[in-house]
Amino acid sequence: MKRPKIPNRRLFTRRDFRTDVVFEDEYGDGLFCVESLDISMGGIFLASNIPVKIGTLLFLSVLLPPHKRPVRFTGEVVRITKPGSQLIQGMGIRFVGLSETAQKRLEEFLSST
């Protein structure tokens, strides 16, 4: 899935990143996975047709190489793309309250090649 170019109004540079992202419940148990398309210090885009509302808070877990353990994030749904638009169906998630560990791992991953 190739995303079309749209004007960039983002605060952070995004990096293509395709991996499984686990939705977790409040106890850290995995519920289901969706695929990510890109990631930045500000958030992640998930390719999904799951019906969620803008403003919904989600608990997510993602493996950021080279680490072997996933990083947990809380994210807020800030954008939803619908079927039939020129964009890939999915949702833009803004990270909320990154832990020091999550921020460090994310910075490390984004600064690698």
Q: What are the sequence ranges of the domains in the chain?
A: 15-111
Q: What does the pLDDT look like over 31-59, one tens digit per residue? A: 999 999 999 999 999 999 888 899 999 99
pLDDT at 83: 74
**Angle 50-8-101 from CA coordinates, rounded to 5°:** 65
Q: Please, which pLDDT band fits residue 30 given cuts at 50, 70 and 90?
A: confident
pLDDT of residue 98 exceeding 70? yes
- Topology of the domain comprising 15-111: Thrombin, subunit H (2.40.10)
SS3 85: coil
Taking the model in full, what pTM does it have? 0.84
* Identity at 111, one-letter amino acid code: S
Average confidence score pLDDT of the chain:
88
